[in-house]
Structure 1
């Protein structure tokens, strides 16, 4: 599987349904029908796709939307971003303020995160597990065998230890208005939940 095939699969999954659990089921079923090596390559492509989104600017954008953002929350947010499809993903990787154009984000604006449904939350942790589960389905092997297959590829982790760029406070209105003007307008600074 190459990056083009990976993104085609993500986009096809998105065309099937907007519900995250249904999309996971579709992906898992589709991947389960692939050869073992293709399933492993899906995870390789996912890991590689996430690298350009590991930035302080995107972290600040996530924090502005959510009101807070831990390490794990930011990772799940980035997985959710993959689920928006290649076009939006690439735009946001270049310019995190482009998230303001995503209908999924526009629907959250002006509402307390406490009012968001589970389906609306901009996080998709389960995407990181779908290839391992499909591997189990297809091969009858354990998830540990999936991780061994990943390790056997000897692929260097391309993600830096720290996010790229300069860390800044997304709750400072002046700074956010300058760096993320559209998101700042959609999500005024709030108290941490």
Structure 2
């Protein structure tokens, strides 16, 4: 079976994006995936498998350290599976954004995403062709059979690009200057005890394992909203707001 033409693949995705208020959100991205599935169900099983094969090719082409680093920065960490789902989310943003992000992940800064929104995942996009089949197993069997007809390296390749230390702020700023300005902002957090000098803003993702026994907890008000702040006693980093460490009724002076 032939792999779907790239233009046809992206035409389906971009058409599915029409009418959705904000595809950047988890709900918006999921709606795109659902509409793609509906279209593939209309086109039939062969088209659904061909679409999946093209997706697998794009997945291999985007298996890149540079893009992974951007996902790590935007999400405050990014596992193997999360990187798969992040690329699913990126597909739902459309062809133009996808292609620009692969050339230069720092262009993702132009999307205007709230830095407190670190979900940026769309797992359902990874196997959206299931909508054209009555049973999921039939879809996966059809995909496996189609892949078996193609060279093994069509979908599987090495991790592209050069690795770097995602915890090195200088390296992050060098690679992603615009994203770093959004996600690595550092500032004094008002209201914290003097024992927490130069505590980083809650806009920065926490970079170590949070253990209940090693947390110092405070809360403060900033920009007319409650911000929960937790400092790890090991590394002094502060997680993003919305971590649930403290709720509004637990605010302390």
TM-score (norm 2): 0.65
Deviation at 1:159, TM superposition (A): 4.5
Q: Which residue of 2 aligns with 1:107?
A: 113
Segments of 5+ residues of structure 2 without an aligned counterpart are 185-203, 208-238, 240-253
Give yes or no for the alignment of 1:43 onto 2:49.
Answer: no
Instruction: Choose 1 or 2 for highest CA Rg.
Output: 2
CA distance in 2, matches of 1:147, 1:3: 21
2:169 to 144, 149, 173: 173
Runs of 4+ in 1 over 6 A off after TM superposition: none
Q: Is the 8 A contact 2:29 2:89 kept in 1?
A: no
CA distance in 2, matches of 1:151, 1:28: 19
Q: Which residue of 1 aligns with 2:7?
A: 4
Q: Is the 8 A contact 1:135 1:143 kept in 2?
A: no
CA distance in 2, matches of 1:92, 1:43: 21
Give yes or no for the alignment of 1:123 onto 2:116.
Answer: no
Q: Which residue of 2 aligns with 1:158?
A: 154
TM-score (norm 1): 0.83
Segments of 5+ residues of structure 1 without an aligned counterpart are none
Structure richer in helix, relative to its length: 1
Deviation at 1:20, TM superposition (A): 2.6
Q: Is the 8 A contact 1:79 1:123 kept in 2?
A: yes
CA distance in 2, matches of 1:70, 1:182: 23
CA distance in 1, matches of 2:114, 2:62: 21
Higher relative CO (Cα under 8 Å, sequence separation at least 6) belongs to: 1
Name the SS for the 2:154 alignment partner. coil
Distance 1:25 1:160, change over 3 A: closer
